Structure 1
C-alpha cells in the first residue's frame, strides 16, 4: 500500500527523513500517527524510527534534545516542531512488567516492530508513502480488530499496561479485541498490580471518553482487570457491567463527567467517593469538582426539591451532575435546573456588590473571623433572595448583623 498524498504533518517532517536516509541510514514514520492517518483521524505527534544510533542522529542535526537517549530516543527540533526519533531496538527483561531491563540498538526494522504492542500500531511508512506492514496491521484496521503483535502473553509480560491500552483503543476506535489477545488479558490481568495508578488512570479516563465507552467498560469487567485497580472491590463486576450497558450508544464529554458517572455507578457514599478519587491520584481541584457534582446527584435522589442555595453551591459542576442524571433518568429535565441556576442573583461570591475591603473602609467591621461570617451571611441572603445585591442594601444588612453581634 502506498499513500499518494501525505498529510501536511508528514510532509513537514520529510526533510528529517531525507537527511537521515541521505546519510546512509533507514528512517520511517511509525506508530500512532501512521495508524491515525489511515483511519482519517487527526494526527498528533509524528514519530520516527531509524537504523541510526542516537550519537549518529545527533551528529546529523544541529538542534536535538536527549528526551530518552538511554532508550534510543532523541528529539530533533526543526522549524518549531519536535520529532521524537528512536533507534530500532530490541528489549530484554521486564522485571517490573512495565520497562525493559536492557535495550539493545539494532539496524533491522523488523526487530523493532515486533516488540510493539498491537498490529495496528506496528505500521511504518517510508518517505514516499509506502506502508510497511509486517504483522497484517492493515487487515486488522480494515476489520476493526485489536490484536497483539506475536504472542499476547509475552507482550503483556513486557508491559502490563498494554491490557488497559487494548481496552482503551477498543473504546476509542470502536474495534473488537481479538480472541487470543482477549484470552491472554483475562489470564494475565493480575499483572496490572505492578503498574502505577497514574498510568492506569490515563487509560481508564480515555476509555470512558471513547465512542464505544460502554463496550470498553464491559471489556473492563469481562477481562477481570477491574479487580486489580484501586478501590474497586472484588465482586463489583456487576456494577461495572451495569455502567457499561447503560453507556452503550452514549458518550461522556469530559474526564470529570466520566469519573462522576463511574462513582455513581459504583454506588459509593460521598465519603467513599472522596477516598476513591484520592486513591486514583486525581488532583485536588479535579476531585473537588467531581465531589461537588456527586453531592448534587445525591441531593436530587434524596429530596423532592432543590433549593436556590443548593444550586448555588453546585456551581460550575452543575452540567456534570446533569449529564450523569440524564444517563440515569430518561425523563430528567436538566434545562430546568440550568435555567434556575442562571436565574440566581449571583452564581459566585465575586459577583457580590460588596467585599471585605469595602466593609473595612466604611468602618462596619474590622478584619477577622467576624468579617468573614458577615460576608458569608450576606452571600447566603442574596442567593436565597432575602436581600438584593445592591451596595446600600448590603451595607445596611452588614450593619444590622454587626449591631446584633452576629
Structure 2
C-alpha cells in the first residue's frame, strides 16, 4: 500500500528523512503518527526511525539535542521545529517490567518494529509514501482490532504498562481487543504493580476521555487490571455503574472524569483527598473535585442551599457538568442560574473588608474581623442583607450588639 499524499506534518518533516537517505541511511515515519494518518485522525507527534546511529545523525545535521541519546533518540532542530529521530534498536530482557536492561542499536527496520507494542503501531512509511507492514497491522486497522506484536505475553513482560495502553487505545480508537491479547492482559494483570502510579494515571485518564471510554473501562474490568490500580480493587460494582454513564463520543475533562469516578465510588470529600493522593493528583485538581463532591453529595440527599452553591465557587462548572453525566435527575441549568444570580461569588465581592470594619466600627485587629466578614458573607449570599457598604456596616454593628462576646 502507498499513501498517495503525505499529510502536511510528514511533508514538513520530509527534508529530514530525505537528508538521512541522501547520506546513505534508511529513514521512515513510524508509530502513532502513521496509525493516525491511516485513520484520518489528527497527528500530534511525528516520529522518525533510522538506520543511522545517534553519532551519525549528529554529523548529518547542524542543530541537534541529545533528548534521549542513551536510547538512540536525537532531536533535530529545523526551522523552528524539533523532530525526534530514533535509531533502529533491539532491547534485552526487562527485569523490572518497565525498562530494558540493555538497548542495542541495529541497522534493520524489521528488528526495530518487532519490539513495538501493537501491530497498528508497528507500521512505517517511506519518504515516497510506501507503507511497510510486517505484522499485518493494516488488516488490524481495517478490522478495528488491537493486537500485540508477536507474543502478547512477551510484550507485556517487557513493559507492563502496555496492558493499560491496550485498554486505553481500545477506548480512544474504539477498537476491539484481539482475544489472545486480552487473555494475556488477564493472565499478566498483576505485573501492573511494577509500574509507577504516575504512568498508570496518564493512561487511565486518557482512557476515561476516550471516544468509547465505556468499552475501554469494561475491558479494563474484564481483565482484572483494576485490582492492581490505587483504590480500585474490589470496586467492580461501582466501576460497572460508572461505565454505564460513559456515553460514546462524549469528551470529558480530567476533572470531570475523576469527579464522576469519585462520585460513583461514593467517596466523601475527606475520602476523595486520600484517594486522589494515591494517584499523585495535583492539589488544584483535588480541591476542584472536593468542592464538586460537596455539592453533588448534597444533591444526592436534597436540594442545595445558596451557601452550598456559593461554596462550590470556581468548581461550579465542573460540578454541574458531572451532575449531567450522573444518574441524578436534577435540573443543572436551574442550579447554574441560581449560582449566577447570587449577590456575590467570592468574599472580595463584599462592599466591606477588614480595614473598613476596623476603621468604621472602631474595632481592634484580631479574630473578630474574620468572624464578622464570615457573618456578612453568609448573610449576603442568603439574601438576608444587601451588598451595600452602609447597610453591611449597620448589620455588623447590630450583630456585635447582639453578640458582645464575639
TM-score range, shorter chain: over 0.9
Deviation of the 1:46 alpha carbon:
0.8
Deviation of the 1:317 alpha carbon:
2.0
Q: Supply the distance in 2 between the matched residues of 1:22 and 1:365 (Cα, whole angstroms).
A: 82
Q: Deviations over 1:294-324 (max 9, x none)?
A: 1211101122x21100110112322333333
Q: Out of 147-156 and 389-398, give the one that drifted further.
A: 389-398
* Residue in 2 that maps onto 1:275: 274
Name the CA shift for 1:100/1:264 in 2 (closer, same or farther; >3 Å): same
Q: Out of 288-297 and 83-92, give the one that drifted further.
A: 288-297
Counterpart check, 1:228 vs 2:231: no
Q: Supply the distance in 2 between the matched residues of 1:81 and 1:359 (Cα, whole angstroms).
A: 57
Q: Deviations over 1:17-68 (max 9, x none)?
A: 1111111111111111111111111111111111111111111112211111
* Residue in 2 that maps onto 1:340: 338
Deviation of the 1:327 alpha carbon:
3.2
Q: Supply the distance in 1 between the matched residues of 2:378 and 2:329 (Cα, whole angstroms).
A: 31
- Aligned partners of 1:365 and 1:402 also within 8 Å: no
Q: Supply the distance in 1 between the matched residues of 2:135 and 2:128 (Cα, whole angstroms).
A: 21
Gap runs ≥5 in structure 2? none
Gap runs ≥5 in structure 1? none
- Decide which of 375, 381, 384 is 1:386's aligned counterpart: 384
- Aligned partners of 2:245 and 2:327 also within 8 Å: no
Name the CA shift for 1:362/1:147 in 2 (closer, same or farther; >3 Å): same
Q: Supply the distance in 2 between the matched residues of 1:115 and 1:320 (Cα, whole angstroms).
A: 41
Counterpart check, 1:327 vs 2:352: no
TM-score computed with the length of structure 1 as normaliser: 0.95
Alignment map for 1:59-98 (pairs within 5 Å) = 59-98=59-98
- Aligned partners of 1:344 and 1:383 also within 8 Å: yes
Q: Out of 62-71 and 359-368, give the one that drifted further.
A: 359-368
Deviation of the 1:366 alpha carbon:
4.7
| SS in structure 1 of the partner of residue 245 of structure 2 | helix
Counterpart check, 1:300 vs 2:299: yes
TM-score computed with the length of structure 2 as normaliser: 0.95
Q: Out of 157-166 and 4-13, give the one that drifted further.
A: 4-13
Q: Supply the distance in 2 between the matched residues of 1:11 and 1:367 (Cα, whole angstroms).
A: 68
- Aligned partners of 2:122 and 2:137 also within 8 Å: yes
Q: Supply the distance in 2 between the matched residues of 1:232 and 1:329 (Cα, whole angstroms).
A: 21
Q: Deviations over 1:304-350 (max 9, x none)?
A: x2110011011232233333333333632111101111110112223
How many pairs align?
404
- Aligned partners of 1:155 and 1:162 also within 8 Å: yes
- Aligned partners of 2:146 and 2:177 also within 8 Å: yes
| SS in structure 2 of the partner of residue 12 of structure 1 | helix
Q: Supply the distance in 2 between the matched residues of 1:176 and 1:79 (Cα, whole angstroms).
A: 40
* Residue in 2 that maps onto 1:194: 194
Q: Supply the distance in 1 between the matched residues of 2:298 and 2:281 (Cα, whole angstroms).
A: 24
- Aligned partners of 1:14 and 1:127 also within 8 Å: yes
* Residue in 2 that maps onto 1:31: 31
Q: Out of 305-314 and 319-328, give the one that drifted further.
A: 319-328
- Aligned partners of 1:215 and 1:248 also within 8 Å: no
* Residue in 2 that maps onto 1:210: 210
Q: Supply the distance in 2 between the matched residues of 1:253 and 1:273 (Cα, whole angstroms).
A: 19
Q: Out of 140-149 and 319-328, give the one that drifted further.
A: 319-328
Deviation of the 1:373 alpha carbon:
2.2
Alignment map for 1:357-376 (pairs within 5 Å) = 357-359=355-357, 362=360, 364-376=362-374
Q: Supply the distance in 2 between the matched residues of 1:250 and 1:130 (Cα, whole angstroms).
A: 32
| SS in structure 2 of the partner of residue 337 of structure 1 | helix
- Decide which of 331, 350, 353 is 2:351's aligned counterpart: 353
- Aligned partners of 1:356 and 1:375 also within 8 Å: yes
Q: Deviations over 1:84-136 (max 9, x none)?
A: 11100000121111111100000111100110011111111111111111111
- Aligned partners of 2:361 and 2:397 also within 8 Å: no
Counterpart check, 1:47 vs 2:47: yes
Q: Supply the distance in 2 between the matched residues of 1:384 and 1:369 (Cα, whole angstroms).
A: 23
Note the aligned Cα RMSD (angstroms): 1.8
* Residue in 1 that maps onto 2:263: 264
